[in-house]
């Protein structure tokens, strides 16, 4: 059997951990720059606060009901996510846990005898909650897709399910599939759901009754076949190993306020390039291609939540590099190419691709001494910045005033990573 | 790193420890004799953190527990994975506030008592919202 463990309203749960006064109270967490609502507690959902909606639209409900609002504190969420995953790894060994996202993990339970599965489900839920303070839902079934179905239903009626659903009999699987509309199945997007609806497939159950030949003929492609197999309880999506090296590194932020001058954009892009280079060095890699993109604000009154037009361009470097200054320079040149006087910008980003392993630290035989020294300089810089927890050392190109910095007006303390931010008790 | 054991309850200190972290003199002259006997140095994490994903730190901000050696400004090491037993010093969430107190559960009620006469007992009855947040396992107190 496969389990999926999913943290309930994860970001809100994190904010509540050190704030028992918010237990059973409505809580929302905002995206970077305090733009949209990205996490809601059950109480906030019940008030009708929409998901992924802009904050200003929900503001009347939020203020009328005294909803607690937080800017995203990724520092805290990252630490608590590690704790949840580590607890699962201690319980089931590293090889059986696949971290799927910041708040979800698949667990391979093949070693657990079937008659013990329900006890194990309860044990997972209780242990994670006891150790980390984060509440989770557990869905268990024969395949990943079915486990996702179980998990989704376990959250629907928490009082009855206790946030646990185990699909260990055919009857339970069928009942669960009948309650799952086709667009709620893991891996089925909006347009794919539309397509299936045309074939009169309304629920996951309908799809599970189709056979492979039908899928080959009408759906084509491997995705449809895999989905049907998974719904029938035949494993077609395997457990994946940890993704050690990312193939693409992206750093992008909204500006705190609209930006019109090229100097601020250059500073912002230099800052994002430095951040991306740091991520690159953390996975011991170097990149050959750097892309920069700018997003313009659109000319209407509530424009800031429309997508806006994105313009981007890229440069391929002569050699792959992970040195910050070698990435800032082309990034700034790209900004000069993209920037148009008179435009109003709301967002910028840097993307590094063509990523290769950086062997320059070991293979120093073939590199000139100066190049190794700069690599060494980067290491020193990273070590200082990581040990001091912040950008203590940075390139002057990334600016000192940083007027474009994003807004985070409701940021909670970094309870788990800063001595000065520890939760105070009396 | 690859532990196959199921339900291993806890581990100590830094998990990422490798043999390379053991310091050796690497002296250019004599030195080999001492290097043969080098072992892992003292790591405070080993003692203070019994179960890493379940251990959190708090800052004490009252003198309620002074007789137990917890002074205002001290850092508390709190382990969530230990069950509260009578007489344990715990971090308790009572009606939305966090307290550090000695925990005692009797037949019908629980009492959270301070070690300082000037503080009144907090009696947990059926009308209070109470949750044991975690057990205080160590106090870090700065002397100098």
Interface check for B81 against chain A (CB to CB < 8 A): the answer is: yes
ipTM: 0.84
Scan residues 132-151 of A and list those with Cβ closer than 8 Å to B: 132-133
Q: What is the pLDDT of residue A311?
A: 81
A422·B75 Cβ contact <8 A: yes
A426·B61 Cβ contact <8 A: yes
Q: What is the pLDDT of residue B17?
A: 67
Residue of A nearest to B101 (CA): A426
Q: What is the pLDDT of residue A53?
A: 80
Q: Which residues of A touch B81 (CB under 8 A)?
A: 130-131
> DSSP per residue over A152-171, as a string?
HHHHHTHHHHTTEEE--SHH
Q: What is the pLDDT of residue A125?
A: 96
Scan residues 17-76 of B and list those with Cβ closer than 8 Å to A: 51-54, 56-62, 64, 75-76
Query: Best interface-test mutation with A: which of B6, B11, B56, B96 has the largest number of A CBs within 10 A?
Result: B56
Return the CATH number of the domain spanning residue range B52-140. 2.10.109.10
A425·B129 Cβ contact <8 A: no
Residue of A nearest to B73 (CA): A424
Full set of structural domains in chain A with CATH: 1-166 (3.30.70.270), 180-242 (1.10.150.20), 249-398 (3.30.1490.100)
Q: What is the pLDDT of residue A19?
A: 96
B54·A130 Cβ contact <8 A: yes
Residue of B nearest to A120 (CA): B7
Q: What is the pLDDT of residue B126?
A: 83
B62·A132 Cβ contact <8 A: no
Quick one: which of B136, B138, B11 has its CA closest to A87? Answer: B11
Interface check for A21 against chain B (CB to CB < 8 A): the answer is: yes
Q: Which residues of A touch B2 (CB under 8 A)?
A: 93-95
Residue of B nearest to A87 (CA): B53
A130·B99 Cβ contact <8 A: no
Name the residue facing A91 among B7, B64, B99 (closest C-beta): B7
Q: Where in chain B are the domains?
A: 52-140
Torsions phi, psi for A44 (to 5 deg): -70, -40
A345-357 β-sheet, strand order: A249-259, A345-357, A285-296, A310-321
Q: Which residues of A touch B8 (CB under 8 A)?
A: 90
C-alpha distances (whole Å) from A110 to each of A143, A147, A151 are: 11, 14, 18
Radius of gyration over every alpha carbon of chain B, rounded to an integer in angstroms: 21
Name the residue facing B53 among A131, A423, A425 (closest C-beta): A131
pTM given for the model: 0.86
Q: Which residues of B touch A20 (CB under 8 A)?
A: 93, 96-98, 129, 131, 133
Q: How many CB atoms lie within 10 A of CB A299?
A: 7
> How far from chain centre, in Å, is Cα B57?
8
Which tokens go with B49? 């953190």
- Run means of pLDDT, 10 residues per run, chain B, 144 residues: 39 60 70 73 87 96 94 96 94 95 90 92 89 96 92
Name the residue facing B57 among A90, A133, A422 (closest C-beta): A422
Q: What is the pLDDT of residue A363?
A: 44
Q: What is the pLDDT of residue B15?
A: 55
Quick one: which of A317, A351, A315, A348 has its CA closest to A334? Answer: A315
C-alpha distances (whole Å) from A131 to each of A7, A12, A90, B47, B140 are: 14, 18, 12, 18, 22
Q: Are A128 and A221 in contact (CB under 8 A)?
A: no
- Run means of pLDDT, 10 residues per run, chain A, 426 residues: 96 96 94 88 91 86 94 94 96 92 95 94 96 96 95 90 94 94 88 88 92 83 85 88 75 86 91 92 89 79 54 83 91 91 89 82 51 78 84 84 79 93 95
């Amino acid at each position: 059997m496969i389990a999926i463990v999913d943290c309930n309203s994860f970001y809100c749960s994190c904010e509540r951990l050190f704030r028992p006064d918010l237990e059973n109270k409505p809580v929302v967490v905002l995206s970077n720059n305090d733009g949209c609502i990205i996490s809601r507690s059950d109480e906030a959902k019940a008030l009708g606060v929409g998901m992924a909606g802009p904050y200003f639209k929900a503001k009347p409900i939020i203020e009328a009901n005294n909803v607690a609002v937080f800017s995203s504190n990724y520092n805290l969420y990252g630490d608590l996510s590690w704790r949840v995953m580590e607890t699962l790894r201690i319980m089931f060994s590293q090889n059986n846990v696949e971290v799927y996202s910041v708040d979800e993990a698949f667990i391979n339970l093949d070693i657990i005898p079937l008659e013990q599965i329900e006890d194990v489900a309860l044990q997972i839920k209780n242990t994670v909650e006891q150790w980390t303070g984060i509440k989770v839902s557990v869905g268990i079934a024969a395949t990943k897709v079915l486990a996702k179905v179980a998990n989704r239903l376990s959250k629907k009626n928490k009082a009855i399910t206790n946030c646990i659903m185990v699909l260990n009999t055919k009857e339970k699987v069928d009942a669960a599939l009948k309650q799952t509309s086709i667009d709620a199945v893991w891996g089925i997007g909006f347009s794919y759901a539309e397509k299936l609806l045309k074939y009169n497939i309304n629920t996951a159950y309908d799809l599970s009754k189709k056979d492979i030949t039908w899928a080959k003929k009408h759906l084509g492609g491997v995705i449809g076949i895999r989905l049907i197999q998974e719904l029938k309880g035949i494993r077609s999506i395997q457990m994946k190993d940890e993704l050690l090296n990312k193939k693409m590194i992206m750093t992008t932020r909204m500006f705190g306020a609209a930006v019109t001058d090229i100097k601020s954009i250059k500073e912002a892009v230099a800052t994002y390039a430095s951040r991306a280079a740091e991520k690159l060095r953390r996975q011991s890699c170097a990149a050959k291609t750097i892309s920069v993109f700018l997003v313009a604000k659109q000319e209407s009154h509530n424009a800031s939540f429309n997508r806006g037009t994105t313009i981007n361009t890229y440069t391929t470097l002569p050699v792959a590099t992970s040195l910050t200054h070698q990435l800032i320079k082309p990034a700034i040149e790209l900004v000069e190419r993209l920037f148009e006087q008179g435009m109003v910008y709301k967002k910028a980003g840097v993307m590094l691709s063509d990523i290769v392993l950086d062997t320059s630290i070991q293979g120093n035989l073939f590199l000139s001494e100066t190049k190794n020294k700069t690599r060494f300089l980067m290491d020193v810089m990273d070590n200082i910045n990581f040990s001091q927890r912040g950008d203590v050392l940075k390139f002057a190109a990334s600016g000192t005033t940083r007027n474009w910095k994003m807004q985070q007006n409701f940021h909670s303390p970094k309870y788990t990573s800063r001595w000065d931010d520890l939760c105070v008790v009396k | 790193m690859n532990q196959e054991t199921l339900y291993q309850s806890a581990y100590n200190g830094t998990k990422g420890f490798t043999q390379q972290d053991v310091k050796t003199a690497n002296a250019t002259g004599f030195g080999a004799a001492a290097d043969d006997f080098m072992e892992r140095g003292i790591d405070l994490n080993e003692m203070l953190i019994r179960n890493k994903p379940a251990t959190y730190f708090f800052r004490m901000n009252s003198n309620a527990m002074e007789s137990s050696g917890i002074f205002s400004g001290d850092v508390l090491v709190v382990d969530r994975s230990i069950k509260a037993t009578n007489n344990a010093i715990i971090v308790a969430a009572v009606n939305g506030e966090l307290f550090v107190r000695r925990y005692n559960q009797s037949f019908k009620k629980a009492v959270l008592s301070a070690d300082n006469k000037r503080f009144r007992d907090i009696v947990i009855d059926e009308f209070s919202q109470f949750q044991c947040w975690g057990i205080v396992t160590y106090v870090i107190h700065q002397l100098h």
